[in-house]
Amino acid sequence: MTATATDARATRTYAAHAQPAWRRILFTRETAVIALLAIVIAVALATVPNFDSPLTVTYLLRDVAPILLIALPMTLIIVTEEIDLSVASVVGLSSVMTGILTQSGLPFPVAAILAVLVGTVAGVVNGFLITVVGLPSLAVTIGTLALFRGIAVGLLGTTAITEFPEFWSDLAKDNIPGTPVPGIMIPFVVLAIAFAILLHFTPFGRSLYAIGLNKEAAAFSGIDVGRTKFLLFVLSGTVSGFAGVYFTLLYSNARGDNATGMELAIIAAVLLGGVSIFGGRGALHGVIAGVLLIGILGSALRLAGVTSDIINVITGVLLVLSVVSASLLAWLRRKRTSAIGKKKGRSAMSADSP
Amino acid sequence: MFSHDRKRRSPGTAIAAVALGAALALTGCSAGNGGGGGEGGGDGDGGNLAITFLPKNLGNPYFDTSNAGGEEAIEEFGGTFAEVGPSEASPTSQVSFIQTAAQQGVGGLVVSANDPEAICDALNEARDAGVKVVTFDSDTNPECRDLFINQATAEGIAKSQVDLIAEQIGGAGQIAILSASANATNQNAWIELMEEELAANHPDIELVETVYGDDDDQTSFDKTAALLQTYPELKGIISPTTVGIAAAARYLSTSEYKGQVALTGLGTPNQMREYVEDGTVTAFALWNPADLGYLAAYAAKALIEGEITGEEGDSFDAGKLGEYEVGADGVVLLGDPFVFDAENIGDFDF
């Protein structure tokens, strides 16, 4: 009896995929977010006055650029089931460093590079505490969120530095000639392509999913989990440092409290874009669509005269729905799969019995 | 390994999309009907009289009053009033609203700046797009706006508050200042002048500390408590912000320091009425924010209609407030601060 059952199982053939290709491509979280983004844009274009002006594109992309930038490394970190809450504080710290170093007479490019390096060092601190000391990233980055912000505010006190070379602040604000697209999109697209290749087409990137799904299994299959995570936090710090320099130039304003609370906007967008907070799942195109969705929704609602509180409510509901829908569907699918399994089991049993 | 995730379908997300689209469509339509677009506000010779008020933050009674004054003025001259603003008063949070106003192509934007620099570029971009920019209550750098409506001279405000506290504590002792955010343009200017005024005319009064409540009720409340703990000899507090003085009064009125520690500053009669009546506060100062908004709206109208350009010496008509003249640096002065006390507080309702 048992022997026959085993044989039957051994000869069974498996399809390469549980679903046909078109379903696998169309029915993903990423596609859903992109579709939602398209719907929001279409509705806004049709109903919101002035949404179709080129100014909308310029302002929107300029304002979401820091979030877009930091969302890239944040995606990689969340895929490995870690989190970096200190990114906005690093933006603040890098902004203050840009200001102080420029004020002290350094040429702006040198000050900017040093400020980015400060971000890198902040990432090294995070990475060291998380991977070498072995503390949970949530606890560590809550700590460094306060620490880096404290240093930033402490360095500049309550003042702001507002004098920056016009060439550089114009560069941060200017559009790509002939288009309404701000110039910051060039470094963003370069970084986005680099991160997409890194995450989706390199062994390093694939190992992030393995770590996110099961750290121990990943370690046993030869992935250096500690080193991988360390690199991710350093990347995150560096990109946040760069975003800090951009933020400073965009508002011509170096202040300790710049970008306060931005970490939540970034994490929200990453989760909305289909990255699982439990790790092991997510793709960059979904994340970019998630950031743009939140940005465009806010922009369209503001243009329609909706107050910021209502915009927050709508964004919040959207996030909760996206998380709830994912969990609900997973639960429904489990129910269905187990029901089918039972049925198959029963029919197999009846076939076996004479 | 990923298969269970890969086949994740999203009818839920689709439902969210539809609901959201509907919400957007509805708000979009209502905005269209409400004239948020800014078109059609202009009359024959005038131009676009759609004027948007952008306070430091929404839900602040002071700005509710000033915006109501602005709305009254705009109704008088037949323009379109709109009010937008961030929920918290952070330096860069106003930028997106300024950009939105520029996109909408409004005629005038009346702003109280959270930061003199951070919104400068955004304001200049809006001006390039043809929007007339009037600042009120808290100014930006002069090159970023057409006019600034000054509620009172900084000297007048500083002096009236120092005089009030000196009178209330008998001209000697420790005092502290509870301010708004550390970068608030107007508060910082007043505090500096208060320090000068104290040094010059009240040598026996010692300013021990300036703390910042960020125009947040709870923070201001906590900072008041901390001040009284740190300085047991404290005799008075000046709070040159309406949120701060109300929070400080609420703390004092229920504490052992009630009547012992004097409190004055800038407050609104409605917020301060109960504390004046129960004796926590003897007197405080302010201008009439409704008049401030009213004047700002008329100034925006004069700019939009090309009646003035914001040059020194230009003069314009401001409805019930009469004739005003533009001073140096494009500043228009509303008048002297007004002192509210138990005698006259009943006459005011804002």
* Residue A285: band (very low, low, confident or very high) from pLDDT cuts 50, 70, 90: very high
Segment A42-57 mean pLDDT? 89
- What is the chain A residue with the closest CA to B30? A304
Looking at per-residue pLDDT, the higher value among B350 and B295 belongs to B295
Tell me the average pLDDT across A81-109. Answer: 94
Q: Do B7 and A27 touch (CB under 8 A)?
A: yes
What is the rounded distance in angstroms from the CA atom of residue B217 to the CA atom of residue B242? Answer: 10
Please list every residue in chain B whose beta carbon sits closer than 8 Å to the beta carbon of residue A249: none
Q: Which residue does chain B place closest to A252, by CA atoms?
A: B118
3-state secondary structure of B256: coil
For residues A6 and A138, the model is more confident at A138
Residues 56-75 on B with a CB inside 8 Å of A are 58
Residue A80 has pLDDT above 60, yes or no: yes
Q: Quick check: B31 contacting A, CB < 8 Å?
A: yes
A292, HSE (Cβ side, Cα atoms, 13 Å) = 21
Q: Which residue of A24, A31, A43 is the best one to mutate when testing the B interface, meaning the one whose CB has the most B CBs within 10 A?
A: A43
- Cβ atoms of B181 and B242 within 8 Å: the answer is no
> Counting beta carbons within 10 angstroms of the beta carbon of residue B220, is it exposed (0 to 12), middle (13 to 18) or buried (19 or more)?
buried
Asked if B180 contacts B241 with a C-beta cutoff of 8 angstroms, the reply is: yes
**pLDDT at residue B26 greater than cutoff 50:** no
Q: Is pLDDT at B345 greater than 80 in this prediction?
A: yes
Model ipTM? 0.71
For chain B positions 184-213, those within 8 Å of chain A (CB to CB) are 212
pLDDT for residue B14 is more than 80: no
CB-CB under 8 Å, B105 with A162:
no
What are the structure tokens assigned to A242, written together? 């760069």
Q: Are B160 and B285 in contact (CB under 8 A)?
A: yes
pTM of this structure: 0.73
H-helix or E-strand spanning residue B92: none
Shortest Cα distance, chain B CAs vs residue A308, angstroms: 6
Give yes or no for residue A320 having a pLDDT over 50.
Answer: yes
Cβ atoms of residues A210 and A223 within 8 Å: yes
Structure letter (DSSP) for residue B320: G
Mean pLDDT is lowest, of A80-84, A301-305, B24-28, for B24-28
Most B-contacting residue of A168, A302, A320, A324 (CB-CB within 10 A), to test interface: A302
Query: Which of A84, A89, A75, A86 is CA-nearest to residue A137?
Result: A84
Give yes or no for a contact between A111 and A102, defined as CB atoms under 8 angstroms apart: yes
Q: Which residue of A has its CA nearest to B1?
A: A213
Chain B partners within 8 Å of A169 (Cβ): 121
pLDDT level of residue B42 (50, 70, 90 thresholds): very low
| A311/A307 Cα distance (integer angstroms) | 6
Chosen for mutation from A67, A211, A247, A257 (greatest number of chain B CBs closer than 10 Å) is A257
pLDDT band at A266 (very low <50, low <70, confident <90, very high): very high
Residue partners of A89: CB distance under 8 A and separation at least 6: A144, A145, A146, A147, A148, A149, A152, A263
B34 vs chain A: nearest CA distance in angstroms?
9
Per-range mean pLDDT, top range of A35-44, A326-335, B177-186, B316-325: A35-44
Q: Which of B16, B21, B183 sits opposite A158 (nearest CB)?
A: B183
Alpha-helix residue ranges (DSSP H) falling in chain A: 2-11, 21-26, 29-47, 54-79, 87-103, 108-127, 137-156, 166-173, 185-201, 203-213, 215-220, 225-251, 262-272, 284-303, 308-352
Arithmetic mean of pLDDT, A290-303: 91
Q: Is the pLDDT of residue B197 over 70?
A: yes
Residues 6+ apart with CB under 8 A from B66: B53, B55, B112, B136, B137, B289, B290, B292, B293, B296
Q: Where are the domains of chain A?
A: 68-268
pLDDT of residue B10 exceeding 80, the answer is no
pLDDT-derived band at A335 (thresholds 50, 70, 90) equals: confident
Q: How many CB pairs under 8 A join A and B?
A: 193
Minimal C-alpha gap between B342 and chain A (Å): 36
Of B15, B102, B118, the CB nearest to A55: B102
Cβ of A36 within 8 Å of Cβ of B97? The answer is no
Give the integer Cα–Cα distance in Å for B148 and B343.
Answer: 33
Residues in B 281-320 with any Cβ partner in A closer than 8 A: none
Least confident of A245-249, B144-148, B163-167, B310-314: B310-314
- Which residues of chain B neighbour A306 with C-beta distances below 8 Å? 27, 31
B230 in A contact zone (CB under 8 Å): no
Q: How far is A75 from chain B (nearest CA, A)?
A: 17
Q: Assess B128–A contact: CB distance below 8 Å, yes or no.
A: no
Mean pLDDT score of chain A, rounded to an integer? Answer: 87
The pLDDT of residue B17 is: 47
Share of chain A above pLDDT 70, in %: 92
Residue of B nearest to A51 (CA): B103
Mutation for testing the A interface, residue in B2, B10, B187 having most A CBs under 10 Å: B10
Give the per-residue pLDDT at A351.
46
